[in-house]
Amino acid sequence: MKRTQLIEKILLSILIILIIISIPQFILTGKTIKQVPNQYSYTKAICDKSNYCKDYIIECKGNNLIKLNPTGFVIQQSQDWVDGRENRELCD
């Protein structure tokens, strides 16, 4: 009885492996996580005239803005503070 069960398990395992190998769309590699071309995200602090800055997650696809979500982080800079980073569009 035990030998029959062992043979059944081995045959079932072989059958499952053959099915997986024979299906070309079934990929078990990193290719399943393909990058979407020109789609990216980053964070940026956006400040108002009184230097009250809120941090945002910016999601872009090419040059188009997809989402602009606040992270919840804020900072109040002094009135004489100047942002030294380059001033560019959100998705360029």
What is the C-alpha to C-alpha distance for residues 27 and 42, in angstroms, rounded to an integer?
A: 30
pTM of the model: 0.55
For position 83, what pLDDT does the model report? Answer: 77
For position 12, what pLDDT does the model report? Answer: 92
Can you list the residues of the chain whose pLDDT is less than 70? Answer: 1, 24-37
What is the C-alpha to C-alpha distance for residues 49 and 77, in angstroms, rounded to an integer?
A: 11
**CB neighbours (10 Å) of residue 60?**
19
For position 29, what pLDDT does the model report? Answer: 60
Domain ranges of the chain: 2-76
For position 68, what pLDDT does the model report? Answer: 92
Query: Which pair of tokens denotes residue 88?
Result: 């560019």
